[in-house]
Amino acid sequence: MLLAGSTVVIALLGLFVVGLGFMDGLALSTIVAVALVLAAALTLLPATFGFAGSAIDRLHIPGLLARPGPATRPGWWSRWSETVQRRPLACAAAALALLAVLAVPLFSMRQAFSDAGNDPASLTTRQAYDLLAAGFGPGFNGPLVVAAELRGPQAPATIARLGARLGHTPGVASVAPPVINAARDAAVIVVYPATAPQSAQTASLVHRLRDQVIPQVADRSGVTAYVGGETAAGVDTSAYLSGRLPWVIGTVILLAFFLLMMVFRSVMIPIKAAAMNLLSMGAAYGVIVAVYQWGWLGSVFGASRAGPIDPWIPLMIFTIVFGLSMDYEVFLLSRMREEWLRSGENSRAVTHGLASSARVITAAAAVMVCVFGSFVIGDPLRILGVFGLGLAAAVLIDATVVRMVLVPAVMQLLGPANWWLPRWAGPAPASSATEPDGNDLTGGLVRARPATRNQLVRRR
């Protein structure tokens, strides 16, 4: 439980890498909440169970209380695990193919803030947006504000030339006359793009004005001009957040790698966990791009109009789902490791781990999918729909395709290498059915050999 809570905290620590104040506050408050829940689970919960004693089941639902008795045959999850382990290569290939297909749209994801044109048609914000777009053009909903600092007597004339130049720039629908303040040291020009605020053409126009149009007119003229306004600020923020996403992912995965390596005394397990987490996240990102950016099945999920993905959504989806998926990973691997330490048989450890934890993982995932899926029901705001569908898809994919198929298949293929650890990192855990091999020919890798029957008898 402590390890599971630690993985959630590590995922939230990634938000500090973004470097924005509101993200820092969100991460800190959530970490405090997780720490309090973890403290209660480690102290208050066992104390309550100890106080209740055997009366804990007194008010059980009739017919659902488990009856103790010898297991006569393996359960469904044991049979499922054995099926996957009998054909590990085929199962792993099928799971990877499915994840790859779902992740294809990810490579065309465009991160930008969506505008009111994506709101439900029943909202007045959407109705006002449509009226302005129909009467004055879509760019009227997101004007660009060119603010200029004037120095020298020639500056007003330069501002007039700049206004004329902006009006003849491709992608500009119209330009308001320059407004100069009374002190004649500042001026403002409002530029109306020909495309919608969320359009890629509008973002290209912002960069073209900054890099080409304004420098050509204002350089060495006593005028310093900046392109601002809500639309330009959205372009800048989107570029910043999308640029920080790889840093957040890399930091979180690196911290989780060392944590899992120290706890499970293995190198392959944290590598596998990181790779599979990236696969499930890529598939979830692909789903939201296909639905909300490409427009596939948009009517089913309440997406009235295709558009970009808001840049904060991939960040939040990753941090939330990483914590949840690592919880599932910890539940699953803990049971596998217990059986590995007891028997020293990798196949048996995989079967036992999946059989003993699959019900908990699928039940927890079903709850999360229902909660996140409720964001998409009805006629939701677009950002809620994207956020909810991304979370629900990520949890569903991770708890089914990844944990129930890909993990047992890959661990069966890797065999004892799952529990491999370099000698410099410390001794690997030896199972009760194995003894250390004194002749290490692996270049510093820890190996174990099965104990003989006489050695096992002497231990008993």
pLDDT greater at residue 53 or residue 201: 201
Tell whether 85 is covered by a domain.
Answer: yes
Check whether 238 has a pLDDT greater than 50: yes
Percent of the chain topping pLDDT 90: 56
398 plus 290 within the same structural domain: yes
In this structure, is residue 349 part of a structural domain?
A: yes
Within-domain flag for 392:
yes
Tell me the pLDDT band of 63, cut-offs 50, 70 and 90: low
Per-residue pLDDT reduced to its tens digit, 196-223:
999 999 999 999 999 999 999 988 788 9
Q: What is the mean pLDDT of residues 365-380?
A: 88
What's residue 207's pLDDT?
96
> Is the same domain home to 279 and 317?
yes
Residues β-bridged to residue 224 = 149
Angstrom distance (rounded) from CA 193 to CA 337: 60
Residue 66: the pLDDT is: 59
Alpha-carbon span 189 to 423, nearest angstrom: 67
Tally of structural domains, the chain? 3
Residue 457 pLDDT level (bands cut at 50, 70, 90): very low
Same domain for 258 and 362, yes or no, is yes
Residue 308 sits at φ, ψ, to 5 deg, of -75, 175
Under the banding of pLDDT at 50, 70 and 90, the label for residue 67 is: low
Residue 448: pLDDT above 90? no
Whether residue 169 has pLDDT greater than 50: yes
Q: What is the mean pLDDT of the segment spanning 142-154?
A: 92
Residue 197 has what pLDDT? Answer: 95
Examine the pLDDT at 318 and tell me if it is beyond 80: yes
- Picking from 228, 262, 295, the residue at the C-terminal end of a domain is 228
* Domain match, 322 and 349 both: yes
The pLDDT of residue 456 is above 50: no
374 in the same domain as 272:
yes
Is 65 part of any domain? no
Supply the pLDDT for residue 74. 66
User: Which residue, among 204, 374, 394, 360, has the nearest Cα to 284 in the 3D structure?
Assistant: 394
CA–CA dist 293, 389 (Å, integer): 13
Where does the pLDDT of residue 423 fall: very low under 50, low under 70, confident under 90, or very high at 90 and above?
Answer: confident
Residue 409 sits in the same domain as residue 297: yes
343 and 211 in a common domain: no
User: The CATH number of the domain where 224 resides is what?
Assistant: 3.30.70.1430
Mean pLDDT (the chain, rounded):
86
Q: Give the domain-ending residue among 202, 228, 254.
A: 228
pLDDT confidence of residue 6:
86
DSSP label of 3: H
Q: Are 284 and 206 contained in the same domain?
A: no
Per-residue confidence at 371, pLDDT binned at 50, 70, 90? Answer: very high
The CB density around residue 420, as the number of other CB atoms within 10 Å, is 18
* CB of 419 closer than 8 Å to CB of 428: yes
pLDDT band for position 460 (cuts 50, 70, 90): very low
Contact 392, 367 (CB under 8 A): no
Residue 120 lies in a domain: no
Parent domain of 249? 2-40+74-113+244-420
Single pTM value for the model = 0.84
Band (pLDDT 50/70/90 cuts) for residue 454 is: very low
Residue 254 and residue 330 in one domain: yes
CATH value at residue 338: 1.20.1640.10
pLDDT band at 425 (very low <50, low <70, confident <90, very high): low
Same domain, 378 and 446: no
How far is Cα 190 from Cα 173, in angstroms, rounded to an integer? 11
Q: What are phi and psi of 173, to 5 degrees?
A: -80, -45
Examine residue 52 and state whether it is found in any structural domain, yes or no.
no
Given a cut of 80, whether residue 323 has pLDDT beyond it is: yes
pLDDT, residue 426, reads: 64
256 shares its domain with 299: yes
Please state, in angstroms and as integers, the Cα–Cα distance from residue 42 to each residue in 38, 324, 338, 361, following that order: 6, 19, 21, 20
Whether 281 and 153 share a structural domain:
no
H helices, E strands: number in the chain: 16, 7
Note the pLDDT tens digit of each residue in 74-122.
Answer: 688 888 999 999 999 999 999 999 999 999 999 999 999 999 999 888 8
C-alpha dist (Å) from residue 284 to 60, 81, 103, 200, 390: 38, 25, 7, 23, 6
- Per the model's pLDDT, the better-predicted residue between 3 and 177 turns out to be 177
Q: Is 295 left (phi over 0), alpha (psi -120 to 50) or beta?
A: left
**Poorest-confidence range of 192-201, 271-280, 421-430?**
421-430
Tell me which H or E stretch contains 255. helix 230-264
Task: Give the pLDDT confidence score for residue 177 in this predicted structure.
Answer: 94
- pLDDT confidence band for 438 (50 / 70 / 90): very low
pLDDT at position 436 over 80: no
| pLDDT tier, 459 (very low <50, low <70, confident <90, very high otherwise) | very low
Round to whole Å and give the CA distance between 332 and 285: 25
Residue 427: predicted pLDDT: 64
Residue 158, pLDDT score: 92
* 172 pLDDT higher than 80: yes
Number of other residues whose CB lies within 10 A of the CB of residue 94: 15
Q: How confident is the model at residue 328 (pLDDT cuts 50, 70, 90)?
A: confident
Residue 387 has pLDDT above 50, yes or no: yes
- Whole-number Å distance between alpha carbons of 251 and 258: 11
pLDDT of residue 72: 45
Distance CA 102, CA 80 (A): 24
Cα separation values, 130 from 123, 124, 165, 172, 202, Å: 11, 10, 29, 19, 18
